[in-house]
Amino acid sequence: MPFAHWNADRAAAIVAAQANREGALLPVLHALDHAFGHVPDAAVPIIAQALNLSRAEVHGVISFYHDFKTTPPPPHVLKLCRAEACQARGGEAMAARTLARLADRADIAIEAVYCLGLCASGPAAMFDGRLAARLDDDRLTAIVEAAG
Amino acid sequence: MVARVYVPGDAAAVAVGADEVAAALAAVAARLSTPIEIIRNGSRGMFWLETLVEVETPQGRIGYGPIEAPEVPDLVAAGLFDGAPHAKRVGRPDEIPFLARQTRLTFARCGVIDPGSLDDYRGHGGLKGLERARDLGMIGILDEVTASGLRGRGGAGFPTGIKWRTVAEAVADRKFVVCNADEGDSGTFADRMIMEGDPFVLIEGMIIAGLAVEASYGYVYIRSEYPHAIAALERAIVTAREAGLLGAAFDLEVRAGAGAYVCGEETALLDSLEGKRGVVRVKPPLPAHKGLFGKPTVVNNVLSLAAIPFILAEGAAAYRTFGMGRSRGTMPIQLAGNIRRGGLYETAFGVTLGELVEDIGGGTWSGRPVRAVQVGGPLGAYFPPSLFDTPFDYEAFAARDGLIGHGGVVVFDDSVDMARQARFAMQFCAVESCGKCTPCRLGAVRGTEVIDKIITGQDVAANLSLVEDLCHTMKLGSLCALGGFTPYPVMSAITHFPEDFGARRTMAAE
């Protein structure tokens, strides 16, 4: 999915739209991530100012959660489930082969995810936000290839 | 007549092509000028049959599965819309043994109704619990929930009635109802299924909780790995608000998590909702006294809240008839991993692990022998087949150094390396630790290293006793279940599968 380029004015508007909610920081970070695909360091002072928090507090929250990245993502993101239910159906071996096969694809970030809730249909993955289950090497390759 | 066709919109069906099946059905019907109505129901929970297409006929709903999009033209030509014979026809879904043998109280409507339709919900018994709750009033609701024997379905098994009474008795200007939908355990998907397949039952349960404790606002904290559940529940909340169920007296909103397993721990979840790092709080004070924003708060799992409408509608006695010992009612058990018939199996407490895995689940998906079964998620113990007589019951599992947790059952065949599984448990704890307490933060890292030494055959006997000692410290010294329960998978793997720890001789010599 295409994300907007970082823009401080737009970021400030996004933050302002969420700032009055109780416990606003996670909704703010999700909204920024949704717009820009990441939450860069430049966002920290904007958020801190709007929510009356210290920059350290904002940075601490961003760095705590796996979802929030501080650099823009590559065009494609493949999240492979590495949790027990998918392990039980050969998920680890499939993940190892996939990592090797796609090692030189700089356009794809391959991440581990611990459970997509598809535990009776593993191995499972999410590619560019779309779920896929009952995977094998061929199906997974087809899904990745279809995206170019 | 317009043929009514059901194609699940459940994430586990979508992940195996349900959207493409629905699109193919619409395209074929349009080409044939056959008017059809496609309803995106929840899943029945028989995942080996997904995508399970159902068609309404005078004989009831007839199922076909598993269906993939390219098969659709042939299926329609064979007479799908009339329920005609076909190799993939499975008959009436509720007569399939896997479903027929269940006791679906919480999941009665899941997979049956249109999850987006409040009318459909009401037409299938929905909102009866809320009506009766309004008649009973605060004290009456508390008595009913206490009498039902319902215990927290998130894993801890704390009596729901006592928790609610504590919040009800607390004095404050504001109180909250928080639904824990951070279903992070591998092998579990019941929360996700109910939010996608019958979201109004959760909303009804939360409104009743609000009445019982005099809370006026609720949050549903859903993990970000569940985008379909977030969307389904947000839609249902809008519908419920338009219908006047939610509003000034009690309102709700969904908050998305951000990929932190520890936020499934209730106090870390509360901090996350407040916009902080998801760090575990020291208890006391209990959330029931000082919870969200320091106010008295009910924190309940999705399945606990979703059980409430039945209890109020049919009465506590009807619920507590089911079960055994102090585990009353039904448990939505999730059969997962390397299992032939995986899915959602709601049944009264008391069914044995062996019945679940061998009889109901049909053994392994790979066809190889079952070697280990992890019950209760990443913090649950591994059970060997020699313990398959253990009944599904909080106390029976505790007596065998295990836990039922959120009801996930993950099956492994004989290709599993239990030393690797023990290492994974430690590594997972290290990755997901919130960092507040030392036994968890440091223990999990050191535990991973020591198990690595065992795997490579260094000083096996000494290192095994070191792991045991470390597990003892983590179990007793950690603030929450993440560090405190990681010893369950580790120690159960060592105890029941010593041959995988290079310990055949050393253990026998002790």
B303 with B340, same domain?
A: no
Q: How do residues B432-479 score in pLDDT, each as one tens digit?
A: 999 999 999 999 999 999 999 999 999 999 999 999 999 999 999 999
Q: What is the pLDDT of residue A147?
A: 84
A89 with A138, same domain?
A: yes
Q: How do residues B144-201 score in pLDDT, each as one tens digit?
A: 999 999 999 998 899 999 999 999 999 999 999 999 999 999 999 999 999 999 999 9
Percent of chain B with pLDDT over 90: 97
Q: How do residues B377-430 score in pLDDT, each as one tens digit?
A: 999 999 999 999 999 999 999 999 999 999 999 999 999 999 999 999 999 999
B237 with B295, same domain?
A: yes
Domain assignment present for B384: yes
Q: What are the start-end ranges of the H helices in B43-189? A: 72-77, 97-100, 118-123, 128-148, 160-169
B67 with B130, same domain?
A: no
Domain assignment present for A69: no
Chain B residues touching A48 at Cβ < 8 A: none
Q: What are the start-end ranges of the H helices in B357-478? A: 394-399, 418-432, 438-455, 460-477
- Contact criterion met (CB < 8 Å) for B428 and A120: no
B286 with B357, same domain?
A: no
B75 with B173, same domain?
A: no
- Residue range(s) defining the domain that contains residue B360: 323-413
B265 with B137, same domain?
A: yes
| Residue A17 identity | A
Q: How do residues B93-147 score in pLDDT, each as one tens digit?
A: 999 999 999 999 999 999 999 999 999 999 999 999 999 999 999 999 999 999 9
B408 with B439, same domain?
A: no
- Contact criterion met (CB < 8 Å) for A27 and B255: yes
Closest CA relative to residue A146, chosen from A133, A127, A131:
A127
Interface mutation target, options A18, A89, A119, A139, chain B, most CBs of B under 10 Å: A119
Q: Is the pLDDT of residue B506 over 50?
A: no
- pLDDT band with cut points at 50, 70 and 90 for residue A2: confident
Helix/strand number for chain B, H first, E second: 21, 16
* Average pLDDT score, chain A: 96
Q: How do residues B226-279 score in pLDDT, each as one tens digit?
A: 999 999 999 999 999 999 999 999 999 999 999 999 999 999 999 999 999 999
Domain assignment present for B112: no
B350 with B445, same domain?
A: no
Q: Looking at the 3D structure of chain A, how many domains does it have?
A: 2
- Contact criterion met (CB < 8 Å) for A118 and B277: no
Alpha carbon B158 to its chain centroid, in Å, reads 16
Domain assignment present for B64: yes
B24 with B39, same domain?
A: yes
Q: Which of B227, B274, B337 sits opposite A119 (nearest CB)?
A: B337
Say how far apart CA B70 and CA B66 lie, in whole Å: 12
- Contact criterion met (CB < 8 Å) for A85 and B14: no
Q: Which of B66, B100, B134 is the last residue of a domain?
A: B100
Q: Which of A30, A117, A129 sits opposite B226 (nearest CB)?
A: A117
Looking up residue A136, the CATH number of its domain turns out to be 3.40.30.10
B213 with B225, same domain?
A: yes
Q: Is B269 exposed, middle or buried (0-12, 13-18, 19+ CB in 10 A)?
A: buried
Question: Helix, strand, or coil here: B457?
Answer: coil
Question: What does the block give as tokens for B448?
Answer: 């991973």
Looking up residue B20, the CATH number of its domain turns out to be 3.40.30.10
Q: What is the pLDDT of residue A1?
A: 58
Closest CA relative to residue B190, chosen from B57, B320, B335:
B335
Q: How do residues B331-344 score in pLDDT, each as one tens digit?
A: 999 999 999 999 99
Chain A residues touching B188 at Cβ < 8 A: 115, 117, 119
Q: Is B257 exposed, middle or buried (0-12, 13-18, 19+ CB in 10 A)?
A: buried
DSSP type of residue B64 = E
B369 touches B444 (CB < 8 A):
no
Interface mutation target, options B410, B416, B433, chain A, most CBs of A under 10 Å: B410
Closest CA relative to residue B125, chosen from B134, B112, B136, B135:
B112
Say how far apart CA B458 and CA B419 lie, in whole Å: 14
B139 with B285, same domain?
A: yes
Looking up residue B345, the CATH number of its domain turns out to be 3.10.20.600
Q: What is the pLDDT of residue B509?
A: 40
B106 touches B310 (CB < 8 A):
yes
- Contact criterion met (CB < 8 Å) for B11 and A131: yes
Q: Is the pLDDT of residue B505 over 90?
A: no
Say how far apart CA B117 and CA B189 lie, in whole Å: 22
Phi/psi of residue B447, each to 5°?
-60, -45
Say how far apart CA A47 and CA B194 lie, in whole Å: 35
Chain B residues touching A132 at Cβ < 8 A: 15-16
Domain assignment present for B108: no
Q: Which of A23, A84, A133 sits opposite B378 (nearest CB)?
A: A84
- Residue range(s) defining the domain that contains residue A110: 76-146
Interface mutation target, options B44, B50, B51, B186, chain A, most CBs of A under 10 Å: B186
Say how far apart CA B195 and CA B192 lie, in whole Å: 5
Distant-in-sequence contacts of B112-115, Cβ < 8 A, 24+ apart: B112/B41, B112/B44, B113/B41, B113/B42, B113/B198, B114/B39, B114/B40, B114/B41, B115/B9, B115/B40, B115/B41, B115/B42, B115/B196, B115/B197, B115/B198, B115/B199, B115/B200, B115/B232, B115/B236
Q: Is the pLDDT of residue B503 over 60?
A: no
Q: What is the pLDDT of residue B1?
A: 75
Phi/psi of residue B333, each to 5°?
-85, 140
B222 with B338, same domain?
A: no
* Whether ipTM exceeds 0.90: yes
Q: Is the pLDDT of residue B496 over 80?
A: yes
Looking up residue B474, the CATH number of its domain turns out to be 1.20.1440.230
B196 touches B222 (CB < 8 A):
no
A142 with A100, same domain?
A: yes
Q: Which of B291, B320, B349 is the last residue of a domain?
A: B320
A58 with A89, same domain?
A: no
- Provide the b/e sequence for A102-114 (b: ≥16 CB within 10 Å): beeeeebebeebb
Average pLDDT over residues B11-25: 98
- Contact criterion met (CB < 8 Å) for B186 and A83: yes
Q: What is the pLDDT of residue B502?
A: 81
- Contact criterion met (CB < 8 Å) for A89 and B187: no
A90 with A136, same domain?
A: yes
Domain assignment present for B437: yes
Q: Looking at the 3D structure of chain B, how many domains does it have?
A: 4
Interface mutation target, options A80, A121, A128, chain B, most CBs of B under 10 Å: A121
Question: Helix, strand, or coil here: B34?
Answer: coil
Q: Which of B320, B351, B382 is the last residue of a domain?
A: B320
Say how far apart CA A88 and CA A141 lie, in whole Å: 21
Domain assignment present for B387: yes
Q: What are the start-end ranges of the H helices in chain A? A: 8-18, 25-36, 43-51, 55-64, 84-87, 91-101, 137-146
Q: What is the pLDDT of residue B508?
A: 42
Chain B residues touching A67 at Cβ < 8 A: 224, 257-259
Q: A-side interface with B, Cβ within 8 Å?
A: 22-27, 29-30, 51, 57, 60-61, 64-68, 83-89, 113-122, 124, 126, 129, 131-134
